[in-house]
Structure 1
Amino acid sequence: MSVPTDNDDQPVTVIVPAAVPKTVGSRPSRPPGVTLRLATIVVLCLMLLVLVGVVVVLPDLVAKRVTEEQKPAAVIPLETSPPPPSADTQRVAREKREAENKLGIVLRKQTEREAEGVAIWGGQDYDAALDSLAAGDAQLQAGRYAQAARDYEKVSGQLDALRASMPRRLVSALQAGEAALQAGDGPAARQSFNVALAIDPAHQGGQKGMLRARVLEEVLALIAAGAEHESRDQLDAALNKYASAVSLDARSPEARAANEAVGARIRQREFHAAMSVALTALETDDFADSRAALTRADGIRPGTPEVADTRRRLQLAVQRSRIRVHGDEARVLERNERWQEASEHYAAVLGIDSKAAFAQVGRARSLARARIHAELDAYLAELARLNAPGPRNNARRLLDAAAGLDAETEPKLAAKVGRLTDALEIAQTPIRVRLQSDNLTDVAVYKVGRFGRFARHDLLLPPGSYVAVGSRSGYRDVRVEFTLSAGQEPGDVFVRCQEKI
């Protein structure tokens, strides 16, 4: 026969002595009474063994998480069936099994929370759960299974509550870390961000906060060094320290504020220096340097009234300077009697300031003189035009217009007037010309007169172009063109009709 033990799931075999067959030479059998008493003792021992197995071994076998636990216990073929377990024994076994099941659930949840870093962020709540777990274990070891199950149920709830509190704890840890950073407490900030990253290792805010916390002491030292330089008015050195602090922690409000403040002071200093250069250059008419300095100042502080006002002053100064330069150049050109070029400079002045009176008067004067010079040059370049009455009359009017000019101030114009006057006198002096014919041809000169038949006839004619015409009965008319030029001796003009019709 076999009965369950508390060592494993396999039954333990109990050996019951069997009847030994008689052999030759064996001892004589015992009396019947002795044999009956012996059998009775054996049966009582067997029943005692069965009772012990039910009370001690059976509850452990029931607690196993296998299918065989749900099956009824195997019937041990005994010569005599043991009595069924009592109700208390079954209750104890059930309570123990329930406590152990809850313990398994608790251990699984504990493993999950440990993997989630509960040892870092759980704090007192996790300590309380561990205390409850220890209390449950103590109850289990003492055999108080129902109390142990209740303790394990409490632990399970505490672990679930810890899991549910993770988002809240994350927010709280991040806020505490930021507060510690603001207070300049590096260790506290690192501790808070360590809790946040234990809850969510991939959280960007936590990662950035931890980076800031790790360099906080260095950032504060750089800020302090920058403040020391700033107190000594060593602004460039201070800016270098503040910039280094910002490069370590771009989100540090202290570093950023200090960096911006000293940067503003440096820009203000550079702005005033640039404006000083611009104004000084403006006073000395160094417009290029003034403009460049204003550009620097506007780049430092864009849109300031100081730069705008100085630019207006610069523009006016440049205009006055250009007007002065053009006016001076025009007057020099007038003295050299280069009237057309002078008029162009006066026009440039009017392009800058259309109300400049001196430029209006000067341009009108220059254009008038330029026209006189142009007309004089045209006659002098082609004096033959004076041979015609129309051009001679225009030349006389031109000389009348130039008559009031001062020869001392305008020697070039006076020379041209003199040359044209002389040419006009010559052009107005009659020239002797001889007409020759054959006493048979009637001769006439257009716009001069008819002279009849002659062999030779002299005329005094002003310079110009003429046409002599000859006619004779029975002969074809002839036409002879001739020109009398001032200062030149003309040749004889022959007018004869010689071709018969």
Structure 2
Amino acid sequence: MLEKKLEQASQASVKDRRRIVAITSFVLLCAIAMVMLISGLDDQAPLLPASEPQASSQQNAESELRNQFMQRLQAYEAEVEADLSSANLKKWDQPRDIEITTVKDEAISAFAVGAYASALGSLIRLETLAGQALAARDSMFASEVALTRQAVNADDYTQGKLHISKALLLKQDDEQAQVLEAMVEKLPELLSLLKAADVAAIENNLEKEHAAVAEAFNIAPQRQGLKERRDALHDKIRESRFTALIAAGLLSLEKKQISAARRNYAEAKALFPQRSELKVLKQGMISVADELDLKQTKKKVKKAIDEDQWQTAEQLYAQALQRHPEEKAIRDGLQLASRIVALQRDITDYIQRPERLASANIFAAAEDKLIQATVLTAYSRSLAEKSGALKDLLASMSVKIPVFVKSDNQTYIVVKGVGKVGLTHGREIALKPGVYTFEGSRSGYRSKLVQVRLPVGKPALQVEVVCDERI
């Protein structure tokens, strides 16, 4: 666009110069004619065309200046001006920014009226000013980066944040500064983890200390002593626990913001074609499409939740998260939906297979699921109903059922996993609902196993155990 304007201005200027040359030539011809008339000299006629070579030479020189200006201006805008724009000069040296803008305007204005020599001089001055500004930027940037490193090494978050902000103001796309920014942002969390690790060490809580140190190492692997401390703790903790902590650390690493930043970088690079107009247009189209897609997804999810269809909501959230990995509301929604669906599934399994609750471990696990579901029943009617049913089931599982054990007083009877009945003609015991195995033994006779299922709500039951088969 600028080249087009310059070309139009140049064409207008050329027309003006041609008019001036023509008028000048006419005046010169008239003057020569008068001299010839006065002097009577006949050999002055060949002097008349002399103005044409002179004008042609002048035009060639001006054309050379014009071309040189345009080439240097294009190079300036493509290489220097873009760098100046990213340097945010206006925010830290406004007078210099104004001077650069003014000199550029002067250069273009001079070019527009055909003053190519003046325009080129202004452009050269512009290049010098821009170079000085960028040099000052680079010097300030190096200083701020150095101060940021000092702050990070001193565990000073406030100064680190201050200096890295200044550095990014000067070079917002610099990879070195972005890495430092990430280190600064992680510093409070790192210090908190190290403090927690020291407290755990005082408490002699090796697992807690290892967890804190391992996470701190994941955040700042370059910090001296962290690796050695982590490895020393590793030898004191069971391998299985250590593996679990590593898995948790890897999971945390997968959720770091830097991963999202890389994805964004790759996507952004793929969307930037060579034509800047198309680049802006394409980016706008993608932005709008994402916005509409997100809005529609939220509408569908709300409908599913209102209808208590949490499995549908979970699927919608999972699909949306693939398209919008940075959307916190989608992540939180998926986590909530997944928890509700998992609790519904687990509680339903307990209800459908109540005999499993005879196991103390499974009974305790069911109680834990009820506690987890308590804070989520407000979101799901079906979860509230299932939780109530499981609560009643657990209560009924605590009510023991009378069982009359009949025998011949010769058979020694035990209930596996519960206790002994002994020798008896008949004895009543009480057992919680579940599946039990009665084992009878008698010298000289084959042992006998009798399996009994005690369903919930059974009023009473009789079981006979007699070893009557000789060996």
TM-score, normalised with respect to structure 1: 0.37
Structure ranking higher on relative contact order (CA contacts 8 Å, 6+ apart): 2
Task: Give the number of the structure whose alpha-carbon radius of gyration is greater.
Answer: 1
Structure with a larger share of its residues in helix: 2
Q: TM-score scaled by structure 2?
A: 0.39
